[in-house]
Structure 1
Amino acid sequence: MPDAHATPALDLAADVVTITRAICDVPSVSGDEGRLAELVMRALAGAAHLELVRDGDAVVARTNLGRDRRVVIAGHLDTVPINGNVPTRFETDEDGTEYLWGRGTVDMKAGVAVQLKLAAELAEPAVDVTWVWYDHEEVSAALNGLGRIARTAPGLLAGDFAILGEPSNGQVEGGCNGTLRAEVRTSGLRAHSARSWVGDNAIHKLAPALAKLAAYEAETIEVDGLAYREGLNAVIVRGGIAGNVIPDEAVLEVNYRFAPSKSAAEAAEFVTAFFDGFEVAVVDAADGARPGLDDPLAQEFVRAVGAEARPKYGWTDVARFSAMGVPAVNFGPGDPLKAHADDERVAVAQIVDCERALRAWLTAAG
C-alpha cells in the first residue's frame, strides 16, 4: 500500500477550497487510489460520530443516530491520467471569476472535498448519513469500487435517497441515460487490390449502415418531467490488413445513449432492429436511472439547495443506486464539460456554494 506518511495529513478543519486543493495534489489515477484512501481514513479516524469501514481502496463512514431516514452520499477518489495539470493552481479569468485549475478539480475531487468536510463536522445531521468514497470509477465497470461494495456488502449502501457528487454545475441532475455499445460486422472476400474485382470489399459494405446513422435524428424523451436527449453514433471503424489487400472483414462500433425509460434489453432490441440485415453484437450495456424526483426526499433536496432539476445525459453511478431501489441524483461543483479536459478547472465560488447548500439540507432535512 502507498505510504500515506509521505504526504501531509488532510486537515478537514480547513476551508473546503483548501481541502479540494490538498486532495487534488495527491495523485490518484485509477488503480493508484491507495494513498488518498489512507489519508481519508486517517483524517476521519478521530470523528467519534462516524463508523468507518475500509473496503479495498474505498472508505465508508456512517452515522448511526437512529434517524427515520438514511441518505447515502458518494464520490469517487480516482481521476483520469494526469497530463501536466498537477499540482493545482488558482486562475482568474477576464470577468473576475476565480478558478482552481488542475486534474480532478471537476471530476470529482471538489465534490469529495465538500463531502469530507461535512462528514467530519456534522455530528448530528437531521438524517443518518452514509458517506462513501470509492475507487476505480474512471475505468472498466467490472473494477468499480461502488459496484464491488454493492456486490459484496450491499447493506453498506442501503438508504432512502442517494446523492452522487458528480459535477453538475451546482444544479441537481436527476438520473442518467443508459449506454450501449454494439458492433456491426460485415464480411467479404480478400483479393489483391490491383485485381479488386475478384474480391468483395467488406469496408464498402458498411456504407449503408453509416448512411443510415448519418441520417438518423435521435429522440428527446421526457421521463418524470425531465427531457433526456438520446444519441446513436458511430465511434470506431475497424477493417483492412494492408494497403494492397481488399478487406474481408469490417467492424463499425456504435454507441447508443438511451433515455432511462428504456431498459438495456430494450435498447439492444432497438439497435439490432435499426441495423436489420447486418450482423450485430451488443458488447456492453448499462441501464440508465430514472430521476426519482417524485420521491419526497428528492423533492425536499431540490427545494432546499435552491437548484434547478435537470437531466443527466452521461452515465453515472446513480444507476447503481437506482438498480437497488434507491432514488438518486447528481449534485456537485464543476462544469461537466471540463471533466477530463487538460484545462480542467472549477469555479471556487461553486465549491463553497455546494458545501453551504448541502450543509443546510443535512441540518434541516424534513
Structure 2
Amino acid sequence: MPALDLTASTTELTRQLVDVFSVSGEEAALADAIEAVLRAQPHLEVIRDGDAVVARTRLGRAQRVVIAGHIDTVPVNGNLPARLDDGGATLWGRGTVDMKGGCAVMLALAVELAAPAVDVTWVWYDNEEVDSARNGLGRIARERPELLEADFAILGEPSNGEIEGGCNGTIRVDVTTRGRRAHSARAWMGENAIHAAAPVLERLAAYEAQEVEVDGLVYRESLSAVRISGGVAGNVIPDECTVHVNYRFAPSRSGAEALAHLEQLFAGLPVEIVVADLAEGARPGLDAPLAQQFVAAVGGEARPKYGWTDVARFSALGIPAVNYGPGDPSLAHADDERVPVAQIERVEAGLRRWLTAG
C-alpha cells in the first residue's frame, strides 16, 4: 500500500495521489492509502464502503456538510507519473484535473481541521468515470443514504477554482426511422430508412438552443445528433436508421419534461423515440443559508455548471450542492491534463476559510 505524506504541501499530496494508479475499477490501492491516513485521526469516524471511504466529524454542530470527490480516473495514456513544470507552477498528469487535486485538498483539510465550524462528512468514492450504475456515490445514496445526510454539499469537480452551481440534466434518445429492404439496383422497390431520417436531422440543425435562468444563474442548453447508425450492405436499401440524440437541459426542467420537449420537436415525423439514458439536473441551491455563507467566504461570483455532475445525486436527496475544485474542466480526460498549482492553493484556502469561520 502506498504511504501518503500528509506533512507535504497539498500540491505534493496531489502528486502523490496522481501517482497511485486508480483507473475506474482499480481504485483499491488508493482507497487503502486514504483510509489508512484517516483512521490515524482521532477526530474522525471512518467507514469503508467498497472502494469508497467516508470520514466524518461528530462534534454535535447544528449543521453538517458533505464534501465529496471521486478517486478514479479515465485510462492512462503516457501521462504518469505526475510532473511539475513551468517553474513549479503547473502539475501535469492523469487525474490532476479530474479530480485528484480536489481530493488532495479534501484529505489535507480532513486531517488538519479537527474542530470545524460545522460537522463535515468527507467522501472519497469510486467508479465515477464509468457507467452510472457502478458510481460509488450513487451506491452509497442507494444503500447507505444516512451517510450522506447533510444541509449542504460540495463536490470537488474541476471548476477553475470557482463556484459552479447545480448542473444541467442530460437525456439521450434513439430516434429511429423504418423502411423496406431492396436491392440497390432496384431502389424504387424499397423504402430507404436513411433518407427518411433527413427530416430528423433538419429539425436538429434548425433547433435554437435556449438559455434559461434558474435561481439567478443562466444555463445554456444544447441539442445534438451525436451518432447515426443504419445500413445493411453496400448494395441493399436500408430498412432501419437511428439518429442518436443528446439533449442537455437546464435544471428548471425535469427529465420527463425534457423527454416531452423532444417528443414535441419530432412530432408529426414517422419515428420511434426510445430513451437510452437519462440523468436529472440539479438546481443551484445557492439560496440555502450555508451556500450563501460559502459564497461569501470563498469570494468570486457563482456560475452555472453546463455539464452533468454528481451534484445531481445530492439534489435528488434534497441537499443543495455546488461544484468547487481546482482545474479547467475542458482539460479533464485530455492527454495533456494539467492543473495550475495556484488553483489548488486557492481552493484549499477558500474551503479552510469557510470551514473555520465561527
Choose the corresponding residue for 1:309, options 298, 302, 313.
302
Match of 2:146 in 1: 155
Match of 1:46 in 2: 40
Match of 2:199 in 1: 208
Match of 1:252 in 2: 243
Match of 2:158 in 1: 167
Distance 1:12 1:154 in 2: 30
Query: How many residue pairs were aligned?
Result: 356
- Runs (4+) of structure 1 exceeding 6 A deviation are none
The answer to whether the 8 A contact 1:178-1:258 is kept is yes
Distance 1:311 1:112 in 2: 22
Choose the corresponding residue for 1:284, options 274, 277, 281.
277
| Alignment of 1:145 onto 2:136 | yes
Deviations 1:161-191 (A, max 9, x none): 0000000001100000000000000111111
| Alignment of 1:344 onto 2:333 | no
Distance 1:155 1:14 in 2: 33
Match of 2:61 in 1: 67
| Alignment of 1:125 onto 2:119 | no
The answer to whether the 8 A contact 1:97-1:347 is kept is no
Match of 1:196 in 2: 187
Gaps (5+ residues) in structure 2?
none
The aligned amino acid for 1:251 is T
Deviations 1:31-81 (A, max 9, x none): 111110001011112100000000000000000000001010000011111
Distance 1:115 1:358 in 2: 9
Match of 2:291 in 1: 298
Match of 2:20 in 1: 26
Normalised by the length of structure 2, the TM-score is: 0.98
Gaps (5+ residues) in structure 1?
none
Normalised by the length of structure 1, the TM-score is: 0.96
Choose the corresponding residue for 1:186, options 174, 177, 181.
177
Distance 1:32 1:353 in 2: 30
The answer to whether the 8 A contact 1:13-1:117 is kept is no
Distance 1:216 1:12 in 2: 52
Secondary structure in 2 aligned to 1:315?
coil
The aligned amino acid for 2:124 is W
Match of 2:50 in 1: 56
Deviations 1:12-35 (A, max 9, x none): 221100000001011111111111
The aligned amino acid for 1:99 is T
Deviations 1:299-341 (A, max 9, x none): 1101101122000000001001011111000000000110111
Secondary structure in 2 aligned to 1:268?
helix
Report the RMSD for the aligned CA atoms in angstroms.
1.0
Secondary structure in 2 aligned to 1:28?
coil
Q: CA deviation at 1:97?
A: 8.2
Secondary structure in 2 aligned to 1:203?
helix
The aligned amino acid for 1:203 is I
